[in-house]
Each structure stands twice: as C-alpha cells, then as structure tokens.
Structure 1
Amino acid sequence: MQIQFQVRGQRATLRWLMFGMITVGALSLIVGLVFAGVSVSFLTDAKRAPGTVVALAWQDHDGGSRKPRDDDPPVAYPVIEFTSADGTPRKFQDSAGSNPPSYEVGEQVEVLYRADSPEDARINGFASLWLLPVIFGGIGLLFTGIGTTIALVSRRQRQRG
C-alpha cells in the first residue's frame, strides 16, 4: 500500500510539472506573439530615413529586473540623429544596448519611425525589432516542448503498466 501511495505521489508531481511547463510555455509564446505583432504593426506604418549614430550613451546597468552586481559591465545605447519627412532634425536613444557596442559613432543606420509620432523611432535592426519576440517565443517553445514530452512519456508508461 505504501508503494502505491508513492507512485500516486510521483504521478501527481509529474502532472503538476507537466501542467506548469505547458502553461509557462504557452504564456511565453503568447507574449512573444504580442511583441512580434507590435513589431509588425510598427513596420507596416513606419517611414524610413537615413540616420547617423552621434553618441553612445553608456549606462552602468541595463534596467533589468535583477539586481546589478559590482562586476556588471556598462552597456552602450546608440544615440541616433535623423531628419523626419517634415524636415525636422530629430534625435533618439535606441532601446537596445550592448557591450561591446553594436554601433560606432559616425556609423550610418536606417531609422524607422511613425510619421504621426516621429519621436517613436527605432534602428532598423534585429535587436530593436525582433529580439524580444525571439527570446519569448524560444522560451515558450522550449517549455511547451518539455511539458509535452513529459505528458507523452508518462502516458506511454501508464499504457504499458
């Protein structure tokens, strides 16, 4: 009787693990799809303009949810200058930073911006447009895949036993 209890306990734990993995995976996939939709929507309405990296804004911490450590290197965010279609010179700091820097001062980049809101601008690059959808989508696929594998393996074991 004690062995049956342990097996049932293991099955319950396995079910909760499977359910948790699939749930976290599905939520991550949804978040990734939302971020991808935002990028696609932005690209649909975006105007293009040539821009120049005029500075690198170095920040000690990237503003993430974890606490900074003393040995965290600073992150460089490119500051870009461009002229919108109405002839107004504009400047913005890109939301994607890195160390080592992805861009150099003086480098020419393509800027995407909304005509009705030129201050909403981004560099036409992978990190600015697709990094978050890829990260959340990848995590979602990984967790959903693990949860599904656990479900299939436990189902086969139940059918055998």
Structure 2
Amino acid sequence: MFAVGVLCLVAGLIFAGVSVSFLTDAQRARGTVVALDWQEDHDGGSRMAHGDDAPAAYPVVEFTSVDGTPRKFRDSAGSNPPAYEVGEQVEVLYRPDSPEDARIKGFLSLWLLPLIFGGIGLVFTGIGTGFALAARRRRA
C-alpha cells in the first residue's frame, strides 16, 4: 500500500509540475463559452458529477490567439452542475507555440489531477506507514 501511495504522490507532483510549467509559459486571452458539451463519462475522467452515470458539461470556448487567429477548444474539466454558462467570459491560457493546447484559467482545469493523485497518495502512504509501524511494534 505504501508503494502505491508513493507512486500516486509522484504522479501528483508530476501533474503539478506540468501545470506550473504551463502557467509559466502561458499566454493569456479573453474567451467566451459558446457551448456546453454534455458527455456521459464512464472512464473516470477529470470531472465532478453527482452519480456515476450523470453527464458532465464540458465548456466549449472561443478565443483569439495573439496572432489574430480565432480558436475554439473544449476544456478538459467537465462538471455537473455546469461550472460555466453559455455566453460567460473566461480567461484562457494557452502556449504561444501550440495554441490548440488551451485551458480555462480555473481551479478544475489546472489543479484537479494533482490534487486527486496527491490526496490518494497521501492516504495510501499514511495507511501503509501505519501498517508498517504496527507490524514493527508487534515484533518488538
């Protein structure tokens, strides 16, 4: 259990590093939520929903990159109830060298995976450490 916890902690740190790197290099733009893409998400993707079969609303956002090109993307984080409304203005973050890799500047889009993996890692590492300490005390 301890090993699984450590692996999850490492994965959480890697995801956090990816988010920090993305934030460091990201260009900012104003965007507009133009649609909500409702999806049944049975693969356990990054969404928050009420119930296993509840669909999640993924915001579809339009923005104009610094080169003047109109862009459209679907955010990677969906939720139920929807976190955004059609017509809502949002701040978009994207890499200038790959503007198709865009995200809404929001907690879910940037920090959900690091928190999930880090939290699971802490719990499993704590349980594994507790078992190891209990076994050591029994031997002593």
TM-score (norm 1): 0.79
Deviation at 1:65, TM superposition (A): 5.5
Deviation at 1:73, TM superposition (A): 1.9
> Does the alignment pair 1:81 with 2:81?
no
Q: Which residue of 2 aligns with 1:64?
A: 43
Amino acid in the other structure paired with 2:4: V
Give me the CA root mean square deviation.
1.5
Q: Secondary structure at the match of 1:90?
A: strand
- Between structures 1 and 2, the one with greater strand share: 2
Q: Distance in 1 between matches of 2:107 and 2:89?
A: 16
Q: Which of residues 67, 78, 85 in structure 2 aligns to 1:97?
A: 78
TM-score (norm 2): 0.91
Unaligned runs of 5+ in 1: 1-20
Give the total of aligned pairs.
Answer: 134
Unaligned runs of 5+ in 2: 46-51
Paired-residue identity, % = 76
Amino acid in the other structure paired with 1:107: E
Q: Where in structure 2 are the equivalents of 1:108-119 lying within 5 Å?
A: 108-119=89-100
Q: Which of residues 4, 11, 28 in structure 1 aligns to 2:8?
A: 28
- Between structures 1 and 2, the one with greater helix share: 1
Residues 42 and 53, structure 2, Cα contact 8 Å, conserved in 1: no
TM superposition outliers: structure 1 runs of 4+ over 3 Å: none
Q: Distance in 2 between matches of 1:65 and 1:49?
A: 30
Greater C-alpha radius of gyration = 1
> Does the alignment pair 1:129 with 2:110?
yes
